[in-house]
Structure 1
Amino acid sequence: MTVAAATLASFAGTQQLFGKSTVASPSNLKGEEINVKHFGAKGDGKTDDTAAIQKAVATTGNRLFFPKGHYKISKTILIDLAKMGYASIRGNGDAQVIMAGAGPAFKIAGTHFGSADPEGFDKKVWSSERMPIVEGLSIEGQHKAAVGIEALGTMQLTITRVQVRHTLHAIHLRENNRNLIIADCHLYENHGIGVFYDGVNLHQSNITGSHISYNKEGGIVTKGGNIRNIHITGCDIESNMGSDKAPTANVLIDCSGSAVGTAEVAITGCTIQHNRNAPNSANIRIIGKDQSGIGSEKERWGNVTITGNVLSDVMVNIDLQYCRGVVVTGNTIWQGYDYGLLMEGCSNVVFGSNLFDANANYPSGTLPSNKLLVTNSEDCTFSGVQVYGSKDSPGLVVRDSKRINIGNCSLLSCEKVGLLLDNVTDSKVSGCMITALNPDDSSFEPIQSIGGHGNKITD
């Protein structure tokens, strides 16, 4: 046989394996990328393709391909990494999986319940389970309890170029996972949460370049668990609120029910905004544990960097409750209708050069309050912060706090009082510019101090 003839024969064999009319023989497909239609999936949006897809998974193992079509399923497709080995679920952007039943469309389950330390790995995890991939698919929920992707026991799970819509939670992280990457995804209009860290033990996760919008119970949410090293970078995170459940936020880190909390978080280069119509809405809300009084350092969770973001159009732009070790710098922040910043029970928080603005180019019919309120906190610094246009209140209020350093800040166009210190001790204010909304208002007080002691106000 000539080389050309051999090449044609090889191509013909490939066509027989992946052509429309052939049902694949399972005996020789292990390790091949398998078109689910060759196991009887119709992809017509009407036929229940659950059994056909699960058969493809069980028979061929690890490389599942969805060609163009709408694949309706009624039960979860289980990707059992211990049985399958290396796994990928792939489409080319023109395939949609419709979850018509309760539970996740895809459940990816591994056996890694340790850390990311190489010394602690079971050999089987590294040799056959690492880096399961989901890419190039759309997942649509048609059941109120449908979920997009659920993961537990995974190492290096990578989800990229995936759209999830109309589910409960788009991506649900449970039990134990390590080294997660979510990139270039659209998690949109789900009635639960976009990315849900649900009581999970998960260190090292990156969420980058994604649109996470209109998820009614939060965009990116952590609750309970043992969570470290979350990087949220270059994302558009919008209007993830609307449920009656409170508190709602575009980014919510809730450590109140966890013994070890969430920490080591970087939120950088994102637009995070909307919706002021939701009660108690916030763009970024971090909740530690109330230890009932200054000086209780235990369980003030944090070690968070918030930098280079654009935040706007909610009731509270940044809400920090019982946090420690937070740096907020280089952000453009406006339209905080109750507060630009709400901070309670915190320590070792640094606010660098941030702008809290009331921008007239965004008419809304309701002027934002935009004020900064700090209560029951200690050892915090405000440097180079500018607040413009605080409505009916001081631009910055510090109450029941100690060792607060406020320097080189601009509190502009404030009403009644620029800076209010109420029962503040051992603190310093220096080099600030404070102006009234109405320059002719003779009753305006740049700085008002009530009670407290040991404070120094200069320049």
Structure 2
Amino acid sequence: MKNFKWKELIFTLILMMIVGLIIGYSLATTKSLDQSDYIEIHKFGAIGDGKTDDTLAFRKASKERGIISLESGKTYLISKTIFLDLSTIKGIQGNNAKILVRGDIPAFHLTGNKIEDGAEPPSNVGLEDEFSAVIEGLHVYSNNHQGTALVLDGSFGVNISNSHFYSLKKGIELINKNRNVIITENQIWDMADYAIHYNNTNTHQSIISNNHISYAKIAILFENGDVHNTQLNSNDIEVGHSENDNTLNAVKVIASEVNSQFSQAQIVGNTIEDHFHAKEGLLNFYAETFDPSKIGTDDVPYIGMVELVGNEFSGSSKAIVLENSNDLIVNGNTFKIITEVFISIFTGGEGINITGNTFSGKINKDSGGRVLEVEGGKTGFNSSFRYFMFNNNSAYNLSENLINIKKKDGVKEEFNVSNLSMSNNIFNTTKATDYVIDINVPSLTNAIFSSNIITTGSNNALKITGENEGSLVIRDNIVNGLE
């Protein structure tokens, strides 16, 4: 029995020694591999004093394989673009070192081989070595608002996080085809042009979340191209001051070219603010009008399938401006101190659902503009505004007539309004206006106005005028305070 216990003990000790050796070897190997993955920039001659041009050192390092690693506390001056091949360079570990850009150039141009459309596995064969490049802890700036921090070109799965881009012309620019881009927990601010620019790009599956993005001509610009499946969530987006005093928008989407599309986007839980500088609204969607018979229905520019949910809009002349946009949900947002128009809709649109929002001015002050203004019609085209819902909203402490729907002056072509629901809203004006709700269009059919509560100092509550009116229901509304 004693011999058996001794044998068991000896066997256990030997087994533990073997396992320990295996684990130790494994850890050593892993550590060695991790260390070998890093391309330490100082080994290629980089000085990092903010005065010496380190461009050549970066270009040498970019020919290696691995992750470029910068030295904390250093400032590296770059005067020419550093091109990074994503099949060999797996990212940049910035360690909060700074890149000082001299000249109007991109600091880093990340190039992959994503040339096929789609994101499904067959379209990405051969790109495995390029997946999930990581840019982390990188600071990029200039002394004169020139240059761009990063350009993404043909990438798949690039992750940009915990970085700081400022005093540049642009922060991040996307061109050509990109897929699965993640931009999270960054500081991007003080841009002469755009903090993030989707520049005529074919980019699907991108996530922009938990960033601070502020002070630019346009904070985030989606300009033509083919952009789908975009998550813009939980960011602080603030505009006001801009380098050239030319602030336009916090977020702008432009589809002005044939076959340009922006769709399947969720804009959720952001604070979107201005300091009364943005000239074209906090959020602006513009789709050009084309004749489908001349270019084909599938090639008509399209902005739609977008959800604006749980955002805060404040401190601007206009909050949301939509032109020729469709299939849109505006739900559960808070709008405060918008001096001219909270939501503007031009040309026409269909499938727009504005539900459960709060629109307000300052208490006991004549402030806060019109809640909804629709100015339909476009010269050279017949247009319509249909399948529209404005329900369960609360609008109060405002000083304008709250709802105005009309045809644009001087337009001879048709503008038809149909299938409209405006129900269960609370409307309150603190200043005498002509009508709280004023609808003046050539044609209005299949519309219901019901169960609204209107408290006002105005002369009238609701006016509907037009040449062709039919199937209208007006019932169960409460109106109080008419003068």
Where structure 1 has 5 or more consecutive residues not aligned to the other structure, the ranges are 18-27
Deviation at 1:121, TM superposition (A): 1.9
Match of 1:164 in 2: 165
| Superposition map of 1:28-107 within 5 A | 31-58=36-63, 60-68=64-72, 69-82=74-87, 84=88, 87-93=90-96, 95-107=97-109
Relative distance call for 1:250 and 1:278 in structure 2 (3 A) is closer
Name the larger-Rg structure: 2
Match of 2:450 in 1: 430
Distance 2:55 2:150 in 1: 15
Alignment deviations for residues 424-443 of structure 1 (CA, whole Å, 9 cap, x no partner):
5111111101111x3xx6xx
Relative distance call for 1:403 and 1:242 in structure 2 (3 A) is farther
RMSD of aligned residue pairs (Cα, Å): 2.8
Relative distance call for 1:241 and 1:374 in structure 2 (3 A) is farther
- SS, match of residue 111 in structure 1: coil
Match of 1:384 in 2: 392
Q: Which one-letter code corresponds to 1:346 in the other structure?
A: G
Match of 2:349 in 1: 346
Q: Which one-letter code corresponds to 2:369 in the other structure?
A: S
Distance 2:242 2:168 in 1: 15
Deviation at 1:66, TM superposition (A): 0.6
Q: Which one-letter code corresponds to 1:46 in the other structure?
A: K
Q: Which one-letter code corresponds to 1:42 in the other structure?
A: I
Match of 1:334 in 2: 336
Alignment deviations for residues 267-313 of structure 1 (CA, whole Å, 9 cap, x no partner):
00100010323433x111111223589xx995442100000111111
Distance 1:247 1:101 in 2: 23
Distance 2:240 2:247 in 1: 11
Relative distance call for 1:122 and 1:320 in structure 2 (3 A) is same
| Superposition map of 1:356-367 within 5 A | 356-360=359-363, 367=367
Compare 366-375 and 237-246 and name the one that shifted more: 237-246
Distance 2:247 2:258 in 1: 17
Distance 1:214 1:117 in 2: 37
Q: Contact 1:340/1:371 (CA < 8 Å) preserved in 2?
A: yes
Match of 1:122 in 2: 125
Deviation at 1:413, TM superposition (A): 1.6
Q: Contact 2:191/2:243 (CA < 8 Å) preserved in 1?
A: no
Where structure 2 has 5 or more consecutive residues not aligned to the other structure, the ranges are 1-19, 377-384, 408-416, 477-483
Q: Contact 1:275/1:313 (CA < 8 Å) preserved in 2?
A: yes
TM-score for the superposition, normalised by structure 1? 0.85
Q: Contact 1:316/1:340 (CA < 8 Å) preserved in 2?
A: yes
Match of 1:23 in 2: none
Match of 1:108 in 2: 110
Deviation at 1:315, TM superposition (A): 1.6
1:418 aligns with 2:436: yes
- SS, match of residue 168 in structure 2: coil
1:319 aligns with 2:321: yes
> Equivalent of 2:423, from 407, 413, 418?
407
Deviation at 1:170, TM superposition (A): 0.2
Q: Contact 1:300/1:346 (CA < 8 Å) preserved in 2?
A: no
Deviation at 1:102, TM superposition (A): 2.5
Deviation at 1:240, TM superposition (A): 6.0
Relative distance call for 1:250 and 1:97 in structure 2 (3 A) is same
Number of aligned residue pairs: give it: 420
Identity %: 23
Distance 2:124 2:291 in 1: 41
Match of 2:194 in 1: 193
Q: Contact 1:284/1:318 (CA < 8 Å) preserved in 2?
A: yes
- SS, match of residue 277 in structure 2: coil
- SS, match of residue 57 in structure 2: helix
Alignment deviations for residues 380-405 of structure 1 (CA, whole Å, 9 cap, x no partner):
001101222332x3111122432211
Deviation at 1:29, TM superposition (A): 11
Alignment deviations for residues 89-110 of structure 1 (CA, whole Å, 9 cap, x no partner):
01222x1111112211111001
Distance 1:421 1:265 in 2: 31
Match of 2:275 in 1: 275
Q: Contact 2:146/2:167 (CA < 8 Å) preserved in 1?
A: no
Compare 410-419 and 340-349 and name the one that shifted more: 410-419
